[in-house]
Amino acid sequence: MTAYLIRRIVFALFVLWGAVTIVFLVLRLVPGDPAQLILGSDATAAEIAALRTQMGLDRSLPVQYGHYLGDVVRFDFGNSYRYHRDAMGLVLDRLPATLQLAVVAMVIALVLGIGLGVVAALRVNRFADRVVSVFALLSQSMPSFWIGIVFILVFARQLNWLASGGRGGLDRLILPGLTLALPVIAILIRLTRSGLLDVVHENYIQTARAKGLGERVVIFPHAIRNALIPIVTVAGIEFGKLLGGAVIVETVFSWPGAGRLLIDSISARDYNVVQAAILLIAAGFVAINLIVDVLYGYLDPRIRLGR
Amino acid sequence: MAATTSVQAPPLLSVRDLTVRFRTRAGTITAVDGVSFDLAEGETLAVLGETGSGKSVTAQALMGLVPRPAGRITGGEIHYGGVDLLTRPAAERRRLNGTDLAMVFQDPLSSLNPVFRVGTQIGEPFRRRRGASRAQARRKAIELMERVGIPAAARRVDDFPHQFSGGMRQRVMIAMALALQPKVLIADEPTTALDVTVQAQIMALLAELKAEHRMSMIMITHDLGVVAGVADRVMIMYAGRVAETGPLREVYEAAGHPYTRGLMASIPEVSGQRDRLTPIPGSPPDLTRLPGGCPFRPRCSFATDVCAAERPALLPVPTRPATHLAACHHAEEVVTDGVAG
Amino acid sequence: MDRTAVAPATDLLPPPDDVAPKAGKPLGRLRIIGSLVVIGLYVLAAIFGPILLKYDSVATDLGARLKPPGTTLPDGSFAVFGTDQVGQDVLAQMMQGARVSITVGVATLLLAGIIGVAAGLAAGYLGGWLDAVLMRLGDVQLTFPSILLAIFIASILGPSVVNVVIVLSISNWVTFARVTRSQVLSIKERDFVDAARTLGARSWHLVTRTILPSAIAPILVVATVELGHVILAEASLSFLGLGTPASTPSWGVTIANGRDYLSNAWWISTIPGIFLAILVISFGVLGDALRDRFDPRLRSM
């Protein structure tokens, strides 16, 4: 287990470093002048030159990179051009809102995704299974921004049940949470269904029946416990993807999270905030992946205790 | 069907005309075709046959484990405890597993749940069916593990299946099967996946346990040598049917079916003369396209026209004791030929 | 991690196949044909629609704005799906949007496909450090949420159709590379490749003539499913203002524009979304059906 953990941690650090480097390179190697990009087309040559010096763009690339790495490690992303305060601080302020949304979405996705997947597997090829499979197909194919809009239209405007925007309690959380959860629900349904169907053919399930255990006990926990292992991994990865999907959902529902800040900053060309937000979300993603790796190692005794 | 037991008491288990069919992509096959046999209390029956002979499916049918929906029991009776099991609902049959009928499978690595501790799995029947507490079940599990010869049981009860060697895993399976003291233990090729030295140990263990618990055993195997010291009677299966059955010594000395003869001749003998191995000519039958009449005919040196026309019934072999039956039109000839040669 | 089971202790044929669709072949063919028909209709609409029903991105007709579906406009034309906030016919916009989405989708797939397949071939066939580097790069990229990567790059490059294609190709080459690589790895050890090699075939010939044709089927399956994802991704980017420019009426842009008019003109946002969903679903069904036909093992992709 320790060897496994170390490998995963090293990989996570490597990915983080990769993300940081990519952000650095893209911003500087893209045709055009980053300083010009930030200041816009009506900036004077003097302003651009000043910003270039301030950003260190007149140094050589490796030197810039070194400075950049140093800044990143100290969480120093410069100041927000719009709000005139520390860029990373700005992002961190908005982070709890995004996390709240992501967690709610994940809970919904796990309950509905795994639950429906189990139902579909137990009633395979019958009506319930077909309905669930169609639902999964639809959830995966419908653009989340559109679904969000339709939800707002139906539930908030027409039926006036729920609020349509802004942060708040359960009534404001449920629509964006559900919208964010839908693609994950679809994936979890498929995985749970096929995973459970595969496990049910394994020899140890036959053994469980040979011991005289009833079908319900054979499924819970004998089959499920094994089927769950790969599902947990995917669920974890999907949680990370939720962080990306949150960008869209926050925009549609005017949810004041880091994702929306990112989009707003992009249109305002506030690149310090853009960098800070991208890297923070990426770091969150990597951290979640790492946690999932650890969880997976723990759940599978063959990894936990070595082969 | 004539009686096949040699003791006076009514048989513990009585199977009549059992038929199991499977739907496969290649067509419907009759994996078990009219199989009948009895099992007396305390008796060990060896079921011998190649892959595809239907021996494992027969065991599955007894335990209600025939994989559905592709497989179906389409006919026959299984009499146990005064009741025909095939007329009872599945849940009731399931309850007999563990308490009356138990099974040990061929590959203990894939037959044990990899994510549960061995002690949990062995103790599970006590917890779920006898209402035992976790502590009680654990004690019973350690007891059983010691009984089957697993060293340091108290420590190893918390280990996972992958942490045991092949032979130890099979002992775990045996412990698990014996938990509720079943009356019939079915062992489906229990030693095939194990080393030769370990095989002997496991067989010895089974013999001991059988005597201790007064259990009946059905030992399924393709290797006669393995069961030679343990079995009372033997039943040889071919293409889903019983080819021959009778007391072990009797069948061994005077085989009445050409297939049995072939099996005996193809066993390598470590001691004794180093004769050449005589494999049975031809290849195992294609169950989707069985020839009419006797299924062994294409590979049989005794075959005549009647073998193609008529399916041989399982009847006592002429000139031999009434408990020795063979399904062959030329049984007497086979016996004479064997004894002479 | 290996969880393969020894064949069940039954001396019989493979375990019952009660998982595959019961009807087997006929249902599979229906799925393939049905989805191809729908996709074909979209392609036709994309090619001929804008010709038949003209869409001018700068024209405004305020007298005809925000009319509900089924209205006959002052100039006599019939707005099947209503008009938008500047009086443009929604159907005309959607067909133009279909053109954009399908073009972007196909272009992205070609670009990502060529890069990915080439990378996969190189990694699989040549192995060694090239394989290690490419696969690490792919792993690192996959651990990054693709939409985030797309947003970031798009934010730098700015909204334009070409940029969208570039951005989405960068996000998607990895899947192609992985599939190709695993196919190459499993095929290159097979006998017929060895046979060709002993006959003196050179590497290039080996790769293109023997390995590639066998690998095509799974790549096609992946391509079909990815096309649906790419179209969705392009719509999402456009919705955020990072995809096609605001003047190009891709579906994402149209839906975004309609947000402000949800209360009085719900059709602007809703109807293009329905058509977008139908197209993506068709690709999904087609991909599933192709995969079931050629190789059920790709189920996880």
Which pLDDT tens digit goes with each residue over C203-242?
A: 666 666 666 777 777 888 888 888 988 898 889 888 888 8
Residue C124 counted as domain residue: yes
CA C62, C68, C69, C72 torsion-angle sign? negative
- Alpha-carbon gap, residue C276 to A230, rounded angstroms: 32
| CB neighbour list of residue B232: distance below 8 Å, 6 or more residues apart | B43, B44, B45, B247, B248
Strands B184-188 and B101-104: parallel
Rounded mean pLDDT of C82-88?
76
Residue C144 counted as domain residue: yes
Do B231 and B44 touch, CB atoms closer than 8 A? Answer: yes
Residue C298 reports pLDDT greater than 60: no
A131 touches C: beta carbon within 8 Å: no
Residue C283 counted as domain residue: yes
On chain B, the residues whose CB falls within 8 A of the CB of C18 are 69-70
Do C244 and C100 touch, CB atoms closer than 8 A? Answer: yes
Residue C40 counted as domain residue: no
Domain count, chain C: 1
Reference C170, options C189, C157, C181; nearest CA is C157
- Alpha-carbon gap, residue C32 to C25, rounded angstroms: 11
Domains, chain B, ordered by start: 13-100+182-340 (3.40.50.300), 110-179 (no CATH)
β-pair partners for B22 = B29, B71
What is the domain-level CATH number for residue C224? 1.10.3720.10
Name the one residue in this structure whose structure tokens are 């272009």: C107
Q: Which residue of C has its CA nearest to B238?
A: C11
Domain boundaries, position C263: 81-300
Reference B95, options B110, B80, B111; nearest CA is B80
pLDDT single digits (tens) B9-33: 788 899 999 999 988 877 888 889 8
On chain A, the residues whose CB falls within 8 A of the CB of C6 are 203
Do A120 and A132 touch, CB atoms closer than 8 A? Answer: yes
Q: Which of residues 267-286 of C touch A (CB under 8 A)?
A: 269-270, 273, 276-277, 280-281, 284-285
Q: Which helix (H) or strand (E) holds B101?
A: strand B101-104
β-pair partners for B13 = B39, B80
pLDDT-wise least confident of A184-193, A235-244, C77-86, C228-237 = C77-86
Per DSSP, C210 falls in state I
Residue B281 reports pLDDT greater than 90: no
Q: What is the DSSP string of B111-164?
A: HS-TTS-HHHHHHHHHHHHS---HHHHHHHHHHHHHHTT-TTHHHHTT--GGGS
Q: Residue A189 — pLDDT band, cuts 50, 70, 90?
A: very high
Residue of C152, C269, C297 to mutate, interface with A, max A Cβ within 10 Å: C152
- Alpha-carbon gap, residue C208 to C212, rounded angstroms: 5
pLDDT single digits (tens) B194-225: 888 888 888 888 888 888 888 999 999 888 78
A198 touches B: beta carbon within 8 Å: no
Q: Residue C7 — pLDDT band, cuts 50, 70, 90?
A: very low
Residue A48, CA atoms < 13 Å, CB-side half-sphere = 14
Asked if C145 lies within 8 A of A240 by C-beta distance, the reply is yes
Residue C23 counted as domain residue: no
Do A133 and A120 touch, CB atoms closer than 8 A? Answer: yes
Q: Max Cα separation, chain C?
A: 79
Do A239 and A106 touch, CB atoms closer than 8 A? Answer: yes
Q: Which helix (H) or strand (E) holds A71?
A: helix A61-73
**What is the separation of C-alpha B113 from the centre of its chain, rounded to a whole number of angstroms?**
23
Polymer length of chain B: 341
CB contacts < 8 A (A, C): 145
Asked if B24 lies within 8 A of C3 by C-beta distance, the reply is no
- Alpha-carbon gap, residue B182 to B126, rounded angstroms: 13
pLDDT single digits (tens) B139-184: 999 999 998 989 998 999 999 999 999 889 999 999 999 999 999 9
Residue C147 counted as domain residue: yes
A286 touches C: beta carbon within 8 Å: yes
Residue of B66, B111, B180 to mutate, interface with A, max A Cβ within 10 Å: B111
Do B232 and B43 touch, CB atoms closer than 8 A? Answer: yes
| Coil, strand or helix at A140 | helix
| CB neighbour list of residue C148: distance below 8 Å, 6 or more residues apart | A243, A244, A247, A278, A281, A282, A285
Residue C200 counted as domain residue: yes
On chain B, the residues whose CB falls within 8 A of the CB of C19 are none
> Which chains are within 8 Å of C by 3+ CB pairs?
A, B
Rounded mean pLDDT of A220-232?
85
Compare CB distances from A285 to C143, C255, C259 and report the shortest one's residue.
C143
pTM (predicted TM-score): 0.77
Compare CB distances from C15 to A18, A150, A201 and report the shortest one's residue.
A201
Residue C2 reports pLDDT greater than 80: no
**What is the separation of C-alpha B215 from the centre of its chain, rounded to a whole number of angstroms?**
14
Q: Residue B101 — pLDDT band, cuts 50, 70, 90?
A: very high
Asked if B56 lies within 8 A of C15 by C-beta distance, the reply is no
- How distant, in Å, are the alpha carbons of A169, A179, A187, B29, B36 from that of B290? 71, 59, 46, 9, 20
β-pair partners for B19 = B33, B75
C162 touches A: beta carbon within 8 Å: no
B87 touches C: beta carbon within 8 Å: no
Residue C22 counted as domain residue: no
- Alpha-carbon gap, residue A157 to A155, rounded angstroms: 6
B322 touches C: beta carbon within 8 Å: no
